[in-house]
Amino acid sequence: MTCDHCDKPAVVHEVIIKDGQKQEVHLCEEHAAEAGHKIPVQAPINEMLTQFVSANVPGGSKKRRQGAKCASCGLTFTRFRKTGILGCPECYKSFDKQLGTLVSNAHGGGTHHVGKQPTGREGLQERKAIRQKLVRELDDAVASEQYERAARLRDSLMKLDTEDVPGKPELED
Amino acid sequence: MNLNKPEPIVGGSGPDSDVVVSSRVRLARNIAGFPFVNKASDPQRHEILNMVRRCRFPEKTASDMIWVDMMQATPHDRQLLVERHLISKQFADESSPRGVAITSDETISIMVNEEDHLRIQSMVSGFGLQDAFGSIDEFDRQLAESMDFAFDERWGYLTACPTNVGCGIRLSVMLHLPAIRMSNELDRVKRAAQELHLAVRGSHGEGSEVRGDFYQISNQVTLGRSEEELLDDFCLKVVPALVNYERSAREKIMDQKPELLDDRVHRARAVLQHARLLGTDESLKLLSRVALGVCLERFNDLELPDVHRLFLQIQPSHLRSSIGDPQASDETLRIARANLVRAALSGTG
């Protein structure tokens, strides 16, 4: 992603919600410095992540933001903002909305895992391919205002996402 | 703990070893059904430790694996492991239940209960990321048959810090870049690395300072790209480009300022051969110049691995081990360091 003011790569990404309107700001190192952002040349990645989280929590009141809490381990999103460390695997589901943009920006735009699967999960590759196809079709349906078809595709996606994930076979003792 | 017996990975050998000291691949894995380490109770951390100790390691490594219980390890032993890049400083300093498994050739180590339940590392001398990845990938597959890793279809391998989520892989190479630094071109390298989403750090990773012109370059992206794509980027583009850059800078200095180069490398060796007190930082700086001199054939009586071995042997805990005094004072170490280096470099020069 390039800077809003020049062609250099953006290193600062801000999402500002004002009067219910979302505005995205992307700045290169130089323009970020001009705008008063402090960007260390090589900050430890955890530090950069923490800065990003602190600066870019999407919308909502302070109380509402603090309310986001993982039901499994009890970690609050506020606490995550301070440490950059999650409490348990379930946190990824609990903070799904907040983590989406944040993680994608930290990974150069990556949003989904495309690498190796643990042994016994190879069937997931097929599910992933089906999912990608459904998402593409849903986008097309929405773009061409075929809302009934879009609703069917959305239901198919929801069904796919809530189906049991095939796990690895039980191990013998 | 006797870490003097196995030959440590010191660099100076393997492909492109004039610039690439060592190559490392690290995988972050967590066991399903447990909170991440920072939220886990001590009994849970013990359980994780026991699960890993009970699991079936690949046959060829299981028989010669050394287990170190960090709760029992002395501060001296912990520091030895840090100096050898087998554990992180953070891991050495913690006081909770944790352990590390190390193969006898030190090519594979597994930290249990660091930031993630498992941090599996493979390390080789020189530019050998493909080899390091090959052995760790197989190791990881076999571990996954003994335990269920926390994994999500969208996010991939779930890690305590979202900066590792996805493949959970960190590829890194330790580079010796004295000529790039002498040419004042390091900032250009750092900027280019930043644009490629790579981190440039000191020799001991995150938060460590740069010493002896050693820089660790690693990937920051782990989500949205496969292990093979990341590996191809590193092996075909990033590392060859940096190696060529450093070699060009060395040639340029040899062509344009041969006296400056000769003065620096010979002066460094002279100080090291005659000093009676040496600190770690000063030794690293001077040895870095001697290593450059060896690469540029300024010293016919020295081999690169011998100089790289000194980089490890002059570290405080290794020095304390070699003189048999884990409590040796800094002053004693400065004397011992000077004696060690003087003896090692006592060729004709």
Three-class secondary structure of residue A6 per DSSP: coil
Per-residue confidence (pLDDT) for residue A12, from 0 to 100: 76
Are A116 and B155 in contact (CB < 8 Å)?
Answer: no
Contacts of A111 in chain B (CB under 8 A): 154, 223-224
Cβ contact (<8 Å) for A113 and B149?
Answer: no
Residues B286-300 have pLDDT tens digits of 999 999 999 999 998
- List the single residue in B with minimal CA-CA distance to A1: B195
Cβ distance B153 to A127 less than 8 Å, yes or no, reads yes
CB A25 within 8 A of CB A31: no
* Beta carbons within 10 angstroms of residue B189's beta carbon: 21
Asked if A89 lies within 8 A of B36 by C-beta distance, the reply is: yes
Q: Does A30 map to a domain?
A: no
The Cα A117–Cα A129 span in angstroms is 14
Is B150 in contact with A11 (Cβ distance < 8 A)?
A: no
Instruction: Give yes or no: residues B207 and B323 share one domain.
Output: no
| Whether residue B280 sits in one domain with residue B239 | no
Predicted pLDDT of residue A22: 66
Contact B181, B250 (CB under 8 A): no
| pLDDT for residue A148 is more than 60 | yes
* Closest alpha carbon within chain A to B138: A119
Residues of A within 8 A of B226 (CB-CB) are 114-116
Identify whether residues A100 and A130 lie together within a single domain: no
Q: Which pLDDT score, from 0 to 100, does residue A163 have?
A: 62
Q: Looking at the domain assignment, is residue B309 inside a domain? A: yes
- How much is the ipTM here? 0.87
Question: Tens digits of per-residue pLDDT, A114-125?
Answer: 999 887 665 555
pLDDT of residue B146: 84
Work out the minimum CA distance from A130 to partner chain B, whole angstroms: 13
User: Looking at the structure, do residues B58 and B156 belong to the same domain, yes or no?
Assistant: yes
Q: Which range marks the domain in which residue A61 is found?
A: 45-106
Question: Chain B contact for A132, CB < 8 A?
Answer: no
B141 within 8 A of A119, measured Cβ to Cβ: yes
Any domain includes B11: no
What is the distance between the alpha carbons of residues B114 and B101, in angstroms, rounded to a whole number?
A: 13
Query: pLDDT at position B55, please?
Result: 79
Quote the CA–CA distance of B304 and B307 in Å, as a whole number: 5
Chain B: residue nearest A100 by CA? B155
Co-location of B105 and B150 in the same domain: yes
pLDDT tens-digit profile of A8-33?
777 777 766 666 666 778 887 777 77
- CATH number of the domain at B31, please: 3.30.590.10
Ranges of residues in chain B whose predicted pLDDT is under 70: 1-10, 59-63, 204-210, 347-349
What's the gap in Å between the CA of B150 and the closest CA on chain A?
7
**How many angstroms separate the CA of residue A28 from the nearest CA in chain B?**
10
Over residues A128-134, mean pLDDT: 75
Residue where one domain finishes, among candidates B221, B248, B275? B248
Asked whether residue B66 falls in the same domain as residue B126, the answer is yes
**Residue A167 pLDDT:** 39
Amino acid at B316: P
Residue B168 shares a structural domain with residue B274: no
Domain that residue B208 falls in:
20-248
Confidence of residue A38 (pLDDT cuts 50, 70, 90): low
A81 within domain boundaries:
yes
Q: Are residues B130 and B82 in the same domain?
A: yes
For residue A161, the chain B residue with the least C-alpha distance is: B153
* Confidence at residue A155, expressed as pLDDT on a 0 to 100 scale: 85
Task: Please give the tally of structural domains in chain A.
Answer: 2
Q: Is residue B9 assigned to a domain? A: no
In chain B, how many domains are there?
2
The answer to whether the CB atoms of B166 and A110 lie below 8 A apart is yes
Domain match, B135 and B223 both: yes
Please indicate, yes or no, whether residues B99 and B150 belong to a single structural domain of this protein.
yes
Tell whether A116 is within 8 A of chain B (Cβ). Answer: yes
Chain B hits for A9, Cβ within 8 Å:
195
Q: In whole angstroms, give the CA distance from residue B285 to residue A1.
A: 39
DSSP states of A32-78: HHHTT----TT--HHHHHHHHHHH---SS-HHHHHH-B-TTT--BHH
Q: Is residue B253 part of a domain?
A: no
Q: Specify whether B275 is located in the same domain as B238.
A: no
Q: Report the helix count and the strand count for chain A, using DSSP H and E.
A: 8, 2
Shared domain for B58 and B187, answered yes or no, is yes
One domain for residues A95 and A130:
no
pLDDT at B8: 65
Partners of B162 on chain A (C-beta within 8 Å) are: 49, 84, 86, 92, 99, 102-103, 106
Judge whether B10 lies within some domain: no
CB contact under 8 A, A106 and B220: yes
Q: pLDDT value at position B266?
A: 97
Contact A45 B149 (CB under 8 A): no
Report the DSSP pairing between strands B156-157 and B169-176: unpaired
- Asked whether residue A99 falls in the same domain as residue A134, the answer is no
Nearest beta carbon to residue A119 from set B145, B158, B190: B145
Residue B337: the pLDDT is: 97
Of B195, B227, B248, which closes a domain?
B248
Choose among A84, A110, A118: nearest Cβ to B221.
A110
- Tell me which residues of chain A, numbers 40 to 79, contact chain B at a CB-CB cutoff of 8 Å: 41-42, 44-46, 49, 72-73, 75
Of B209, B228, B248, the domain-final residue = B248
Chain A residues with CB under 8 Å of B151 CB are: 117-118, 121
% pLDDT > 70, chain A: 64
* pLDDT, averaged across chain A: 74
B93 and B175 both lie in a single domain: yes
Q: Which of A44, A75, A119 sits opposite B206 (nearest CB)?
A: A44
